[in-house]
Amino acid sequence: MKKNTILKDTIHITVITLVAGFALGLVNEITKEPIAHQEELAKQEACQAVFAEADDFTETIDISNAPAILEEAGLAGLADINEALVAKSGGESVGVVVTVTDHEGYGGDIQFTVGISNEGVVTGISILSIDETAGLGMKADTDEFKSQFVGMSAEQPIAYTKTGEEGKIDAISGATVTTNAMVNGANAAIALYNSIQ
């Protein structure tokens, strides 16, 4: 009698597991395309946010040499270059949009896009993913902080300051780690930009 109960329970659990697995697979298949579509929309919005004058971000730039570029810039292991796109306006290239992930954030990885014009000027930064401390590191996602990057030259690496030194990014008070991560991520994009010029 006990063996019968164990066998029935095993069959029930197996059937439940198979049905649940099938249902999860079905849900995954149904949601895969809408999720990919939303991710593409978010990427396009981020590109537009950092390069307002561009209207096309479909041409990709080969980033296979990114590890060597980051090594040369002293950023190997600190940041990754995820993607680089040509920013076009009316079919003409006006710059690049680079997506980077910096691994030095206080709360983990920070992923963002950086726009750089053909004239070698940073046109904007848009954060895609950040999980920093509320009220401190999360200030990196404010217009007040991100706007400091706009207009910075891409001819040399960007630096930050705690003393208001001109020509540098003002560090977020109490969140130097986050500031450093953002600056290094921007410098990864700048290093790639300079390698393709």
Number of domains in the chain: 1
Structure confidence at residue 1 (pLDDT): 54
Structure confidence at residue 2 (pLDDT): 64
The neighbouring-strand residues paired with 180 are none
Tell me how far apart the alpha carbons of residues 82 and 153 are, in angstroms, rounded to a whole number. Answer: 22
Structure confidence at residue 3 (pLDDT): 65
Structure confidence at residue 190 (pLDDT): 97
Structure confidence at residue 171 (pLDDT): 93
Q: What phi and psi values does residue 121 have, to the nearest 5 degrees?
A: -125, 135
User: What torsion do the CA atoms of 99, 56, 42, 157 make, to the nearest 10 degrees?
Assistant: 20
Q: What is the pLDDT along the chain (197 residues), one digit of tens a residue?
A: 566 788 888 888 888 888 888 888 877 777 778 777 777 777 788 889 999 999 999 899 999 999 999 999 999 999 999 999 999 999 999 999 999 999 988 888 999 999 999 999 999 999 998 988 888 889 999 999 999 999 999 999 999 999 989 899 999 988 999 999 999 999 999 999 999 87
Strand 160-161 and strand 169-170: pairing?
parallel
Range of the domain at 29: 1-197
